[in-house]
Chain A
Amino acid sequence: MVNANKADDLSLIKRFKASDASAFDEIILKYQDRIYNVCRYMLGNAQDAEDAAQDTFIKAYRNLRNFRPDSSLYTWLYRIAVNTCLDYKKRPFFASIYRGARGDDEVMNELPSDDPSPERIYESKQTCHVLRMSLKQLSEKFRTVLILKEIEGLSYEEIAEVLDISIGIVKSRISRAREELKQQLKKFMEQK
């Protein structure tokens, strides 16, 4: 499955380098949800996530000719997305859910659910709310590894490639991030 995906990506890159205009369109369609999702979690609101995701693909377009086939396309895209989001956060007027500029209402309203039961929907929203509130208390490096692992499902090796750190550091950060998240969750539940 992984090898088939990598072969598919290499074929798209080859077509792009041969000036096939539709190749990049296919790359966007293939990865737009994943990139948007990671931007959404890192930045906390839809507008900034949209802008960051757009910038990610624009940067990818400009640099795709120099892409080395020894790494995978999607970890390369994730790396651009993570760095773009971190740059956004350095901007002086960055307003995100993490500074309380927008409440969690935006997220609560968008929560998808297939379960028609109102109680289950409410519980699910509460869980997401608690999780998001606790996540935002973590340091940037812990929050980033948890988003890549728990939300995006990347392996330790892939996370190491995205963040340009060793697998040992990935293991350590994930363990410490979960420990810290546990403490934040306990604090949050005690306050209620």
Chain B
Amino acid sequence: MRCKKAKELISPYIDGELSEGERESFESHMKDCGNCRSEFEETRNVHNLFAGAERFSATYGFSTRVLANLETKTRRNGLFVPLFARFAGVVAVLMIIGIGIVSGRFIGRSFSFQKPGNIAAFFSLDTFNATPPDSVGGVYLAMTEVNNDK
């Protein structure tokens, strides 16, 4: 076995992932090659460091919290709710406000509003003409005025 191949097999050998034949060839090479043996020992030392690494456990009550979260999320959302659907209410309100603003501007342009000071006068009863000249009332008034003059 060449050194290049042997170095590729260092990690699988340490991890017990070599076949019987590969293992025998590898071990035979290690006996004969000091350079590869040195690299093998360095890698094995790195592997051995992990033997002392801490193993964490889930905190007390973990499964209870998972089940509680499942219930909360199922009650709130039913099945999985797409992200956009959660903001649908906000989007709807914003759209209504936007439509209102656009409609208001459109309506404002349709009416030729006078200056704010004249708005009161515009809607005042004094300017409200219940009997326009071309109406029945207007003709009647005109006739009565003529009769009065006579």
Which residues of A line the B interface, CB within 8 A? 24-25, 28-29, 32-33, 35-37, 40-41, 46, 49-50, 53-54, 57-58, 61-62, 107, 110-112, 124, 127-128, 131, 149-151, 155-156, 171, 174-175, 178-179, 181-182, 185
- Which residues on B are within 8 Å of A, measured CB to CB? 8, 10-12, 15, 17, 42-43, 46-47, 49-50, 52-59, 62-63, 65-67, 69-70, 73, 79-80
Q: Closest CB of chain A to B59's CB: distance in Å?
A: 7
Q: Report chain A residues within 8 Å CB of B80.
A: 62
Assess whether B8 is in contact with A151, with CB atoms less than 8 Å apart.
Answer: no
Q: Other CB < 8 Å A-B pairs besides A54-B65, A128-B53, 15 of them?
A: A29-B63, A32-B58, A32-B66, A35-B58, A49-B56, A50-B59, A53-B58, A107-B54, A111-B54, A112-B54, A149-B15, A151-B55, A155-B17, A175-B10, A182-B43
CB distance from A97 to the nearest CB of B (A): 13
Instruction: Determine the chain A residues whose CB is within 8 A of the CB of B52 once the complex forms.
Output: 124, 127-128
Q: Is the interface of B mostly helix, strand, loop or mixed?
A: helix
Measured CB to CB, the nearest residue on chain A to B57 is A33
CB neighbours (8 Å) of A128 from chain B are: 52-54
Cβ of A136 to closest chain B Cβ, rounded Å: 13
B63 & A131 in contact (Cβ 8 Å cutoff): no
Query: Are B63 and A58 touching (Cβ within 8 A)?
Result: no
A171 CB contact (under 8 Å) in B17, B46, B58, B65: B17
A189 to B18: give the CA distance in the assembly, Å.
32
Residues of A contacting B: mostly:
helix
Residue of B whose beta carbon sits closest to that of A146: B50
* A131 surroundings in chain B (CB, below 8 A): 49-50, 53
Closest 10 CB pairs of A and B: A150-B50, A36-B58, A32-B58, A28-B63, A175-B11, A40-B56, A57-B66, A33-B57, A37-B56, A174-B11
Contact A58 B59 (CB under 8 A): no
| A–B Cβ pairs within 8 angstroms, 27 of them | A28-B63, A32-B58, A33-B57, A36-B56, A36-B57, A36-B59, A46-B56, A46-B59, A54-B65, A54-B69, A62-B79, A62-B80, A110-B56, A112-B54, A127-B52, A128-B53, A150-B50, A151-B50, A151-B53, A155-B17, A156-B17, A171-B11, A174-B11, A174-B15, A178-B43, A182-B43, A185-B49
Considering the complex, give the chain B residue whose CB is closest to the CB of A31: B58
